[in-house]
Each structure stands twice: as structure tokens, then as C-alpha cells.
Amino acid sequence: MTKDVPPRSLVIGVPAKLLRQLSAEEAAALIDHARKYHRLALAHAGRGTDLGFVAQPPQLGPT
């Protein structure tokens, strides 16, 4: 795409095409997901230990 892309736009394909505008909530969720993915990528590359979630203790079933 050789044009400026408006903020909160979903652009896909080659050549790029504007699919639709994203809501503020969708944009915030995508940014949050990207941050979690970045932390996970750093951990897998050996440059971080934060996996982006808190480990829960195992749940024991009835005995």
C-alpha cells in the first residue's frame, strides 16, 4: 500500500486493501495481545522469563 493508513484500520492482503475500521476496544485488545506475544517470544529466545501469565496451582479432583 502506498497511501497513508488511517488510525485503527485493518489492512490485509498483497496488495494491501483496507478491510474495515477497528473499534477502540478491538485496537486495545490487539495491542495487549501483541505485548503478551512479545514477552513470550523473548522468553523463548532466552532473553526473558516473563511468559505473560501467572501460573495457577494444580487443581486436585475428588479422591
- Mean pLDDT score across all residues of the chain: 85
Going from N- to C-terminal start, the domains of the chain cover: 23-48
Digit-coded pLDDT (tens) for 4-17 = 888 999 999 999 99
What gap in Å lies between CA 17 and CA 41, rounded to an integer? 29
Give the helix/strand (H/E) hosting 9: strand 9-12
| pTM of this structure | 0.58
Q: What percent of the chain has pLDDT over 90?
A: 41
pLDDT greater at residue 48 or residue 26: 26
